[in-house]
Amino acid sequence: MRLRSSTIVLVLALCSGVALAQTPPAAGPSPADPAPAPAAQAPAPASPQPQPLAPAPETPAPATPAPAQDAARTTLFPNPSDPTGVEEGVLTAKPAAILSGISTWDEAFTNLRDAVAKLDGELKKAGIAPAGRPLTVFVDTDDNGFKYEAMIPVAQVPEGKTELTPEIKFGKTPDGKALRFVHKDAYDEIDGTYETITAYLDIKEIVAKDAFIEEYVSEFTDAQDTDFEVNIYVQPK
């Protein structure tokens, strides 16, 4: 696989405090006036004035629930990804719509984005709902480019069907033991993650299959989107 350099982006959280204004102390009572002459009669106390009623507290409106995540489009490992470590698990084969293609490395993001868009569009036309995140299996790579199979899992293949269109076939996603690594940065920086994966495999003396799998947790937006999240699955031989 072709490796490109990666950059590490540090995010600094800024915290701001709010100063509390101090309330000045209330003024003390003024000195008492001289006592009245004994013959003077004290004035009658004033009638207490009615105090206005405090308004009843308003009942808070019920909070609007956060939009639910699309549970049908789960990742190959059902548990949430962990960007800080490596996870071991077993991939279960799922039926999928598959589009094969060839790309150069420089056009990887554009071609994979277009392949996923085409799969999504044809599934929608056929009334077939996706049942997982889109993924790519890189079946052959060299310095110039790669051959790939872009896939979108579905709940069930229509009975008797082997293809969705002449170029989109029905098949299955990979299965078997796998290690999951997480890349969360611009897609143009993904080769830095592959360098980390290669170093990990060397240290652990793990021999991996030639094909590797990218699963796109985020929607394709821009190759420079630093929030783009990809699960990378490596299968030991």
Model confidence pLDDT, tens digit, residues 177-228: 999 999 999 999 999 999 999 999 999 999 999 889 999 999 999 899 999 9
Residue 138 forms part of a structural domain: yes
- What is the count of structural domains for the chain? 1
Question: How large a percentage of the chain has pLDDT more than 90?
Answer: 63
Q: Name which of 206, 214, 174, 211 is nearest 190 in CA terms.
A: 214
Residue 13 lies in a domain: no
Q: Is the pLDDT assigned to residue 150 strictly greater than 80?
A: yes
Please indicate, yes or no, if residue 1 is contained in any of the structural domains.
no
33-60: pLDDT as tens digits: 444 444 445 444 444 454 544 444 444 4
pTM comes to: 0.69
Residue 37 lies in a domain: no
Res. 77: pLDDT tops 60? yes
Q: Taking all residues of the chain, what is their mean pLDDT, rounded to a whole number?
A: 78
Rounded Cα distance, 17 and 157, in Å: 57
For residue 59, is it within any domain?
A: no
* Measured distance between the N- and C-terminal CA atoms of the chain, rounded to whole angstroms: 17
| CATH, residue 164 | 3.20.80.10
Domain assignment present for residue 131? The answer is yes
Return the top range by mean pLDDT from 45-54, 65-74, 117-126: 117-126
Residue 67 has pLDDT above 90, yes or no: no
Q: Is residue 154 part of a domain?
A: yes
Domain that holds residue 186: 87-234
- Spatial separation of the C-alpha atoms in residues 29 and 123, rounded to whole Å: 82
Amino acid identity at 159:
E
- Can you give the length of the chain in residues? 237
